[in-house]
Amino acid sequence: MIKIGLLGCGTIGSGVVELISKNSSAAQQILIEKILVRNVEKHINSPYGLKITDKFEDILNSEVDIVVEVMGGIDPAYFYVKQSLLQGKHVVTANKDLIARYGKELQCIARDKGVRLLFEASVGGGIPIIKPLSESLAANNITEIWGIVNGTTNYILSQMYNWGKGFEEALREAQANGYAEANPAADVDGYDAARKLAILSSIAYHKNVNCESIHIEGIRGITSDDIQLAKYLGYTIKLLAVSRKYDDSIMAKVTPFMLKLTHPLAQVGNVYNAIIVKGDAVGDILFYGQGAGKFPTASAVLGDVIDIVKNSISTNRPDNVTPDDLPEANVDIREDECRFFIRISPVDRSAAMGEVVSCFGDCEFIFPNRVKLGKAIEEGQIIVITSRMKEQALTEAVDRLLESGKVNRILNIIRIGEDD
C-alpha cells in the first residue's frame, strides 16, 4: 500500500477522500494515513477521525509516501511542501499560487531528493493539460498557448454577453452561485489566470516564466457598451491567457480579447475552461472541460497520485522540466502584434477624427466614418479597429492621441484574437 498524507480537507480534500473511497481499481493500492486540518474538532465524527491531526509534524514524521497538498495559498503550504520534499516524500499539489511562485525551487528540491512533484490540478481543474503538454507533446516546439483558464471570469462574461447583464450584476450572481469568492480580485483582475499561464508557459517553452512579468488586465473595465458593440460586430469577449515564443523572448499576457464567434474558444461558456496549444509538428490541439470544482479537481489530484503509485519503482523519473536547466524567461509583450478595438471619447468628434487616423494609421474599421452602428453607442464616441500593430506601437499611438488634446479619454482598449 502507498500511504497518503492529506494537507487540507476542504472542498478539494474531501473530494479526494471520497474519490479514493469509491475504490476504483486504480486507487486500491492507496491508503489515507493522515489528514492535516486546522480544526480537529470539526472532523471528530468523520470516518477518518483517528487519522485527523492539526500538527504537520505528524505527517512529516509518519510513514506517508505521498503528501497531497490541497490547502491552497502560499503560507503555510510552501513550508509544508518544501519540508515534505526535503524529507523524501513525493508531493502532489493543486496549488497554482505555490507552483507559479515556487515551482522551480520546489522542482529542484524534488529532483535532488529523487522524489516527484506533480501539479496537474493546478491548471484547468480536471482537464489533463500539464502531463499532455510536458509528455505527450514533448516532440514539439510549442509556439503558442491560448487559454480560457479562469472559470469565474468566463462565467461573468458569458452572463454579460448572453443576458445583457452588467459586470456588477454578473459578479453578484457568480458569487451567489459559488463561482466567485467574496473577494473576487484574484479572479476578476486576472491574477489567477496569470498564475496558470506562468505554469503552462514555463513547461511549454522550457524557461521559467515569472508571474510578475506577465502583462495582466482583468475584466472590471468591460462594460455593457463593449459587449453590445462586440455583439454588433460579430465578436464575443473572453478573458484569455496567451503566450507566444519569440526567438529571444516570450510574450505572455492575460487580457480580455474580442473573438469572432467562429473562434474555437468563442463557444466555451460559463465556468468551462479550454486551452489551445500550438506545436510545430502537431498543429493546434484543444483541451476542454470543467476547470474547477470538487470532483474534477480531485480527479486530477488523484490521477497524479496514481501516476506516482504506478511509477514508484523508479524514483529517478525526471518530471516535466529539468529545473536547473530552466533559465529565466525574458517576458516582453512590446513586440507582440494584434488588432485592437478602441473606444474613444473625443472633445469634438469631427475635430478628433483626423488625429485618430493620424495616430493609428490604416484602420480596418472606424466609426462614424464608414458604417452606422446601432443606438447602443453613446453619441459622440469614436470606435476604431486597428490593423495589426505591435503592442509598443499601440501604446505610442495612444499616448500621441492623448497628448493631442483632441480627446477626453480612451474609454477602452480590447485586443482582437485571430482565428488562424
Q: Is 204 in the site for its own copies (CB under 8 A)?
A: no
DSSP of 33-102: EEEE-S-GGGGTTSTTGGGEES-HHHHHTS--SEEEE-S-SSTTHHHHHHHHHHTT-EEEE--HHHHHHH
CB under 8 A: which stretch of 31-39, 66-74, 156-164, 307-315 binds its own copies?
Answer: 307-315
Name the β-bridge partners of 273.
289
Q: Residue 286, interface with its own copies (CB under 8 A)?
A: yes
Residues that contact its own copies, how many (by CB under 8 A): 54
Contacting range for its own copies; rule: CB under 8 A; set: 35-43, 79-87, 276-284, 355-363: 276-284
Going by their DSSP bridges, the two strands 337-346 and 2-7 should be labelled as unpaired
Find the largest Cα–Cα distance for the chain. Answer: 77
Smaller CB separation from its own copies, 62 or 312? 312
Residue whose CB is less far from its own copies, 233 or 285: 285
Q: Which of 51, 196, 253, 278 is catalytic?
A: 196
Distance CA 91, CA 88 (A): 9
| Number of C-beta neighbours around residue 233 at 10 A | 17
Stretch that binds its own copies, among 125-133, 155-163, 210-218, 344-352 (CB under 8 A): 125-133
| Single-letter residue type at 365 | F
Cell 505554469 belongs to 199
**How far is Cα of residue 82 from the mean position of the Cα atoms in its chain?**
24
190: which DSSP letter? S
Binders of its own copies in range 318-347 (CB under 8 A): 318
Residue 48 within binding range of its own copies, rule CB under 8 A: no
Name the one residue in this structure whose C-alpha cell is 486504480: 26
> Identity (one letter) of the amino acid at 82?
K
Identified binder of its own copies from the candidate list 22, 370, 372, 375, rule CB under 8 A: 22
Give yes or no: 196 in active site. yes
Considering the rule CB under 8 A, would residue 299 count as an interface residue with its own copies? yes
The residue whose grid cell reads 511509477 is 311
- Applying CB under 8 A, which of residues 32, 40, 128, 345 lies at the interface with its own copies? 128
414 and 340 Cβ atoms separated by less than 8 Å: yes
285 binds its own copies (CB under 8 A): yes
Active site amino acids: 196
Q: What residue ranges bind its own copies (CB under 8 A)?
A: 15, 19, 22, 24-27, 120, 126-128, 131-132, 135-141, 206, 264, 267, 279-290, 293, 295-296, 298-303, 305-307, 310-311, 313-314, 316-318
